[in-house]
Amino acid sequence: MTAFRPFVWAPDAVSVDLDLGPAPSGPTSAPVALVRGDGGRWHLPDDAPGLAHGTDYAFAVDGGPPRPDPRSAWQPAGVHAASRVFDTAAFAWPDTVWAGRDVRDSVIYELHVGTFTPAGTLDAAIERLDHLATLGIDLIELMPLAAFEGTHGWGYDGVDLYAVHEPYGGPAALQRFVAAAHVRGLAVCLDVVYNHLGPSGNYLDTFGPYFTETHHTPWGRAVNLDGPGADEVRRWICDNALRWLRDFHLDALRLDAVHALVDDSPRHLLAQLSDEVAELSRAVGRPLSLIAESDRNDPATVTPVASSGLGMTAQWADDVHHAIHALLTGERQGYFADTGTPAALTAALTRVFVPDGGWSGFRGKPWGAPVPADLDGHRFVVFGSDHDQVGNRALGDRPSDHLDAGALAASAALVLTSPYTPMIFMGEEWGARTPWLYFTDHSDPDLAEAVRVGRRAEFATHGWAELYPSVAIDGTLDVPDPQSPATLAASRLDWDEPARPASARLLDWYRELITLRRTVADLGSGDRRRTSVRWDTTAGWATPADASWIVVHRGDVRVVVNLSAEERRVPLELSGTGQVLANWGAAFLANGDAVLPGRSVAVVGHQGPPEQ
């Protein structure tokens, strides 16, 4: 076991002391005066011993109170307490033959550790990995684990970005989870947040210019990526990413809201990170992926660095969700304003972004840029549901609260047979009826009240009050209290649901679609040029009641959706003899057409090679 030798960047400090708690097997030591080194980094004197695993420590700058290490791996007593040494190398990894997995064309499953199981821990989540493996999942995307104040929350208010939230089990539990996933053939992605830190427990200003007033984000001051001291801040971020991938054997990182990483330097932080991750991938001999969340609708995010792009492996494409959701539900408020028609669905399934350089009614200006036709669709992660699209609704209501079984089956088919990389939000696969709400655990009453007020205001800007007349008071949404334990409890998955007949049927449908995606070449293809959409032009489509049929062409396969309540005969335009490969309902083929009962879906392909 190698002794840990802490260091800290504090470029403007006159003195920095290492404040030590009790050693694992000894009394508390006296503070140690650190030595200033190059670039404003302070480190132990050469003759001072390193720290053993389990030793508590903190840094006191210029005689101030001791604060946690900005690179702390372990915060067992919370974000306001001392850091603790964690020896990542002590774990015996059982995945020595793990070859890794590229995120592109994986089937992704997004889960929140705190509500995925009743216990809300990483070890408890291990017990449900077999469910994900039999579902056909390739990669698990864990919502943020960085340590934050309190016991429960979404995780996007992390303040110790190198530490794993202790109520989830801490860093050792993450190692156990990743190892257990790999044994089952499941890759693991971690959601990381580099665009801001949470409001409580953020002590970075004690040490150096981690933030700048030159740029601002929705959360306040921007992280300093291009001002004085930015090189060390960028190193702090990149080292964090490399550490998760190298020391915890993670396969991918999902980068939250990269449009808020404001960087005017010649080389954008994301390009730097892309290059460094690629170098690590070569060193460890397995694929390592970066998934970006971006609001810019710009393919430059996934364009290689060598071609002047940011080099991300993939990015979320929210517009595909919006196009499907708005069409199925009839919702048109807020950011759904640009979608809700078959034409918008066509654009989303073939061009990715809606808009992609044209006018955005929601934003009131042109938005986005076209995606090159030959750019692999697998570079875009799409979904019918995710944590934002559920949790940012006033009541945390899922599509299963509004849509019938046929529409849920249609949503699954449109996502899982798309030319993109599909993602499923936890519980979606069985039509979970538990909500997923916004919940927090702030100890400061003023902060807690500010969150309550802020969430109500945010919901109001989405224009959703009209959807919830029972909780709207004078146009203001009276939403569940984020601080209430009942809000957290309501958001936990109910694992009795999958065994119920309706849920079990939908779960089987997801399994069937995932299997088809792997076994039918056209459905597994990311070639958007072989994707097109037809629809019943005689239908009005103004509301869900007007809906009729839609056919998505995926090469020589047809995904036929009947959203009408009545039986529809749909021309397939399929060369050769076809067969029903998957069927939600009782569809059958007749003289080159598909006959579908109301609210049903069928996937139709060839019995053999298409006729020449």
Annotated binding site for substrate: 254-259, 318-322, 387-392
**How far apart are the C-alpha atoms of 278 and 276, rounded to whole Å?**
5
**How far apart are the C-alpha atoms of 66 and 218, rounded to whole Å?**
30
The active-site residue, picked from 256, 263, 428, 556, is 256
Compute how many other C-beta atoms are within 10 angstroms of the C-beta atom of residue 512.
19
Compute how many other C-beta atoms are within 10 angstroms of the C-beta atom of residue 171.
27
Q: Is 494 a catalytic residue?
A: no
Quote the tokens at residue 177.
């989870």
CB 516 within 8 A of CB 603: yes
Quote the tokens at residue 331.
């919702």
Measured CA to CA in angstroms, residue 316 lies from 43, 172, 415 at distances of 40, 29, 13
Q: Is 536 a catalytic residue?
A: no
Query: Alpha-carbon torsion 396, 398, 401, 403, what sign?
Result: positive
The three-class DSSP label of residue 371 is coil
Query: Alpha-carbon torsion 114, 115, 116, 117, what sign?
Result: positive
Label residues 98-108 b or e (16+ Cβ within 10 Å = b): bebbbbbbbbb
How many degrees, rounded to 5, is the angle at CA 145 between CA 144 and CA 148? Answer: 100
Quote the tokens at residue 247.
């020391």
The three-class DSSP label of residue 338 is coil
Pure H helices in 189-268: 230-247
CB 295 within 8 A of CB 315: no
The active-site residue, picked from 102, 138, 293, 376, is 293
Supply the residues annotated as catalytic.
Answer: 256, 293
